[in-house]
Structure 1
Amino acid sequence: MTRPSSAEPAPDPTPTPPPPGCPAHAGPAAVPLSGPGFQTDPRAAYRAMRRDHGPVVPVELPGGVPAWLVIGYREIHQVTSDGQLFPRDVGLWNQWPHIPDDWPLLPMVGRPMPSIYFSAGEEHRRHVRMVVPALESADPYEIRGHCEELADRLIDAVCGRGTADLVADFCEPLPVLVLARLIGFPDDEGTDISRVLKDLADGGPEAQSAHLRFAEHMGRLVAAKRAEPGDDITSRMLAFPEAFTDEEYMLDLMAVTAAGHLTTADWLGNSLRLMLTETDFADSMARGRHSVAEATTEVLWEDAPTQILAGRWAARDTRLAGRAVKAGDMLLLGLGAANTDPLIRQGLPDGGAAARGGSGAHLAFSHGEYRCPFPAQEIAEIIVRTGIEVMLDRLPDLELAVPADELVRRPSAFLRGTTSLPVRFTPVRTTGDPS
């Protein structure tokens, strides 16, 4: 789970000119972070960037907004390890005078606010002290039990018809239903939150009203758990001894839920896609040479849900990989590109595939102080691996219903997921059918 974000809307077809002298427009032409290349062949796009610009690339966001995209593995470690020079403090951004209120990436970049994902320094650490122990106290066996029950419920809804869209019918709803239950919502409210987060992720006309509904859900939950605490994440947050406002509780709960929704859904979907489209991998799993755990780890290296993460901001003028970075410049973390950096694969057999199998050195969850909290990673991992295991157990002859080259990726340079995953299988009974 990384930070909460929405699917990237289409860039403004008539962008405003960039401010004069902005860093990403000095020297070689900036690379627009849009276009079909990020959907069809992002590796080719990143190879071209490395060839033309090196590990730190001047890029242009919708509206002509400049930034630096860090695609080198070592350079991302450097940026994320130095919170003094490159803090996650969006208030430092030197482009605020040029950012309209309706800028399409504003929900992803964020504004300074009292939330674990949009605060920096000691304020961020204050929220970490409250949120992380509440997540850590969730029982892994209980999480797995919730996941098995809810996965069975979703499969029951489609198993008798022999066809399904795994993205819409399984991958998108499962993570948020599990998270809603862990946070403390009853199941019927979790279903509505699933719809709310889908509207938010789509970034369409319903996104603004969905955000308001999302906040209303969290406000009611905080009030309910104040009156009657339970064994859930919200109650544990409320019991934390440091003082927080209701707004802060709401914002942190919204951040945890939203951050865990689409990224976990895409990790699940990308893993199932790998199993369904890569014949050699599927055959190897069938023969016991690969496991579900290896498939999900492979996806974090090769097809991570979060390809680009915003961001870090330079606290002062500095240099990074030979680039003159000015105070207040935004640095985007190219996590997906860094995982395929040739410098970390040189000299390893099979391009490093064997070494990657059990390695946690990937950057799929970012790195450093502001990386995805470890308990959140564990929750996501349990959801993904348990979901796949239940799916393969219930529908063992699952196969794609369309040619692999017809599968469509989400139209975003920032997020990597499949919009639909049509499958067919032999119809089976529901879990409650005794016959």
Structure 2
Amino acid sequence: MNTNPIPLYGDRFQTDPVGLYREMRETHGPVVPILLAGNVPAWLVIGYRELHQVATNSDVFARSTRHWNAWGRVPEGWPMTPIINQIPSILYSDGEEHRRRARAISAALEAVDRHELRTVTTRMADRLVDGFCTSTGADLRQVYTSRLAGLVVGWTFGLDDAEGERLSSLITALVDADEDSAKAQGETFALLSELAASRAARPGHDVPSRMFAHPAGYTPQEIVEDLLVVLAAATQNVGEWLGNSLRLVLTDDRFAASVFGARSSVREALNEVLWEDTPCQVQPARFPTQDVELGGKLLRRGDMVLLGLAGANHDRQVHQGAAASHGGNHAHLSFSRGEHGCPYPAQEIAEIITTVGVEVLMDRLPDIELAVAPDEVRWRHSPWMRGVVSLPVHFSPAPRMGEV
């Protein structure tokens, strides 16, 4: 189906995605033939207008994987299976079935008290900083960014700290699409099944309990499927948004020099990350319900179409070129678009956690600096997510909160 497809993996996909997307666009235009792991063919949409068309036209570009025409080419043990699967979750449902689930999830997230969320995030961030602030250095990904995301998202699920961090680490392994993904998926389903059974028997004031109570009428199996989607989207996007934002603040003097004096600088940094290094760089998947032309390419019925959010954000039609020129421009596609876009309550929750995470760390450790050269920061080898493997920093020892 594709001519000269580009592998959606390899070092350059992590080290120089902007350059790679530029070359893709020059060679193939806004719709690029690609190969996933195992030489499974697909299309990657990196044109801003074309991606918007795919994301907002669910009649032509369906979400359900039952439409896929290449299931027969999937190798045994395919590492993409935990993400691209035939489980009818909200991720891969269409029409009224999707709307039924989406209403329940949005309502459950909308009910999270924003003031309490900010208070809990601040308390957890301070506690994490207390764990390393008396030293002179740390790896922020290991001790702060991924842990804060797991703890706070876990709290919204009614989980204790250990459960939240355990599920967050399993989700990371699942999304990295490697040999550990299938095992991580099995363990995640087992833990979420226990959580669902617990909330069905003893409802609480948390997201799973509110989903059960919603008129959508979730079955136990359905709620496990959708809890996995919500948990994965929340922990991965929040953790990487926080990590990428801290990397920007620590490597760009425009933000480092002003972030202490103005909270607006934090928000500007967060917005720039969504344009330049969006946490979700590729979103799976859509499947044409008929042969259709898109961006000068003929897509056959059932072809897999991936949404290249990062590539579309760098489309010259919308990208303003110079860094920090985005200002208050929120027209990026980092939360996708259409019925399957990230619901607004989820975006609000993610922004609160990420903003507080940056503010607390910079307030507590005012002389914090990156401990390696900016070009030595390594990135995750995930086809879906954009985030650092580690973020080593050094700083002057600071007192714990109780010692101030």
Class of the TM-score when normalised by the shorter of the 2 chains: over 0.9
1:368 maps to which of 324, 338, 341: 338
- Report Cα offsets for 1:78-119 as digits up to 9, x if no partner: 1111111111121111101111341122222222x2321222
| TM-score (normalised: structure 1) | 0.88
Query: After the TM superposition, which of the residue ranges 417-426 and 273-282 deviates more from structure 2?
Result: 273-282
* Distance (Å, rounded) in 2 between the aligned partners of 1:420 and 1:60: 28
Query: After the TM superposition, which of the residue ranges 159-168 and 409-418 deviates more from structure 2?
Result: 409-418
* Distance (Å, rounded) in 2 between the aligned partners of 1:322 and 1:196: 40
Q: Is the 8 A contact 2:128 2:144 kept in 1?
A: yes
> What is the deviation of 1:172?
0.7
Partner of 2:58: 83
2:382 maps to which of 400, 407, 412: 412
Partner of 1:399: 369
> What is the deviation of 1:222?
2.2
Query: After the TM superposition, which of the residue ranges 35-44 and 270-279 deviates more from structure 2?
Result: 35-44
Find out whether 1:24 has 2:2 as its counterpart. Answer: yes
Find out whether 1:282 has 2:282 as its counterpart. Answer: no
Q: Secondary structure at the match of 1:104?
A: coil
Q: Is the 8 A contact 1:395 1:425 kept in 2?
A: yes
Partner of 2:352: 382
Paired residues for 1:10-409 under 5 Å: 23-25=1-3, 29-111=4-86, 113-203=87-177, 206-285=180-259, 288=262, 291-345=265-319, 351=322, 353-354=324-325, 356-409=326-379
Q: CA 1:256/1:314 → structure 2, altered by over 3 Å: closer, same or farther?
A: same
Partner of 2:394: 424
- The one-letter amino acid of 1:99's match is V
- Report Cα offsets for 1:30-73 as digits up to 9, x if no partner: 11222222122111111111111111111122222211111110
* Distance (Å, rounded) in 2 between the aligned partners of 1:393 and 1:128: 37
- The one-letter amino acid of 1:110's match is N
RMSD over aligned Cα, in angstroms?
Answer: 1.9
- Report Cα offsets for 1:160-184 as digits up to 9, x if no partner: 1121100111111111111111111
- Report Cα offsets for 1:107-150 as digits up to 9, x if no partner: 22222x23212222222111112111011111111111111111
Q: Is the 8 A contact 1:319 1:325 kept in 2?
A: yes
Q: CA 1:33/1:222 → structure 2, altered by over 3 Å: closer, same or farther?
A: closer
- The one-letter amino acid of 2:42's match is A
Q: CA 1:105/1:236 → structure 2, altered by over 3 Å: closer, same or farther?
A: same
Q: Secondary structure at the match of 1:108?
A: coil
> What is the deviation of 1:156?
1.0
* Distance (Å, rounded) in 2 between the aligned partners of 1:352 and 1:401: 23
Q: In the comparison of the two structures, how many residue pairs are matched?
A: 404
Q: Secondary structure at the match of 1:367?
A: coil
Gaps of 5+ in 1: 1-22
- The one-letter amino acid of 1:85's match is V
Q: CA 1:151/1:224 → structure 2, altered by over 3 Å: closer, same or farther?
A: same
Q: Is the 8 A contact 1:275 1:281 kept in 2?
A: yes
> What is the deviation of 1:240?
1.2
Q: Is the 8 A contact 2:266 2:359 kept in 1?
A: yes
Runs of 4+ in 1 over 6 A off after TM superposition: none
Q: Is the 8 A contact 1:144 1:382 kept in 2?
A: yes
- The one-letter amino acid of 1:30's match is P
Query: After the TM superposition, which of the residue ranges 101-110 and 126-135 deviates more from structure 2?
Result: 101-110
* Distance (Å, rounded) in 2 between the aligned partners of 1:139 and 1:183: 13
Q: CA 1:412/1:214 → structure 2, altered by over 3 Å: closer, same or farther?
A: closer
* Distance (Å, rounded) in 2 between the aligned partners of 1:424 and 1:149: 23
Q: Secondary structure at the match of 1:164?
A: strand
* Distance (Å, rounded) in 1 between the aligned partners of 2:240 and 2:127: 20
Q: Is the 8 A contact 1:284 1:290 kept in 2?
A: no
- Report Cα offsets for 1:332-360 as digits up to 9, x if no partner: 11110111111224xx6x65854x22122
Q: CA 1:74/1:351 → structure 2, altered by over 3 Å: closer, same or farther?
A: farther
- The one-letter amino acid of 1:58's match is P
Q: Is the 8 A contact 1:410 1:418 kept in 2?
A: yes
- The one-letter amino acid of 1:36's match is D
* Distance (Å, rounded) in 2 between the aligned partners of 1:64 and 1:290: 45
- The one-letter amino acid of 1:72's match is G
Gaps of 5+ in 2: none
Q: Is the 8 A contact 1:281 1:290 kept in 2?
A: no
Identity rate, percent: 46
Q: Is the 8 A contact 2:68 2:303 kept in 1?
A: yes
Q: CA 1:239/1:335 → structure 2, altered by over 3 Å: closer, same or farther?
A: same
